[in-house]
Amino acid sequence: MSTNASKGKRVFAGLSGGVDSALACALLVEQGYDVTAVYMRNWSRDLPGFKCAWADDLADAERVAVTLGIDLEVWDCEAEYKATVVDYLVDAYARGYTPNPDVMCNQTVKFGTFAERAFAAGADFVATGHYARVAPAAEKGTGDKPAAERPVRLLRAADEHKDQTYFLWRVGADVLARTLFPVGNVPSKAEVRRMCAERGLGVEAKPDSDGICFVGPVGIRTFLLDTLDSRAGDIVEWETGRVLGHHDGAFLFTVGQRKGLDLGGGPARYVVSTDVRKNVVYVTADHQSPALFCSELSLEDARWIGGSAPAAGEYLVRTRHTGPLTPVRVEPDPDGRTAHLTFAEPQRRVAPGQSAVIYDGLTCLGGGIVSKS
């Protein structure tokens, strides 16, 4: 159903060929927006053993656009994606970090390159199929401003299990104020699929995308060994310093990892830490070892959606997409670019390079990159 607020407003909507973006476009059309769909070609390169599925996804996007009677444009974002996502990932692993490429993709490509080009082309709003919501911030003196200029809050989605605000913490409030998330209020993925089928969009049975899109089923280990030089090194028992085996590069491992150590028989072992300079991987057989837990986190490269860091106090933190919301004390440094987090109870250690995202109730405040745990 269209409204006066939406009627005729121009929206450029990302259409990947998947279920969520398809329904997002359909809902926007039904609400009366003037919708132009955009397929972002972020990656088209094949890897040994993996043919990139971008052409199949584009074909699905084209069929959805035809069904909805909207134009579809194909924008080549591959150069930006390689520079800010792929190269970022490779560099982070080489330094011993475990990065989250989806976080960077949202900041630099989907809400960077795509949003900038859309607004330059005359869009009033951009839209995606992310599970998230945007709501006006409760600030005095802003009610008479145009909607796109009012302060906003980023809220968790109605479907808590699918919520994707964890990946959006680096997107600025200026872009969020001009962003629509049409599926953010849909209560479940099953309902999204049902709504797609009801509208005849033809993608309701398409599986969810999983893992790193440019790596595919090849896996991150194979991708890194194809990109970085392998370096033989030791796998060392944390408690005793005894060499248990060997590896092809400390950059291939992350905190808490169990699979891929290839130590033969004996008990399962878990990665405690890596030293990429010395090229050593430290492991323990004790799943409850204190070395696998932490009571504090240090964050760097912090970003705050409201523009400034929140006051020191008690909040919630999520350290992986599907992880629990955990109570934590947050103490931002005066410049707001770093922060110190303290847990009341020890938590499983978080790999350096991962995102720690801070919430105040339903509101995503921002976050930072874990530098130490």
List residues with catalytic annotation: 105, 213
Q: 3-class secondary structure for 273-341? A: EEECCCCEEEEECCCCCHHHEEEEEEEEEEEECCCCCCCCEEEEEECCCCCCCEEEEEEECCCCCCEEE
Q: Centre a 10 Å sphere on the Cβ of residue 308 and count the other Cβ atoms it contains.
A: 10
CA–CA separation, 214 and 42 (whole Å): 9
Kindly provide the b/e burial profile for residues 110-147, where b requires at least 16 CB atoms within 10 angstroms of the residue's own CB.
bbbbbbebbbeeebbbbbbbbbbbbeeeeeeeeeeeee
CA–CA separation, 222 and 217 (whole Å): 10
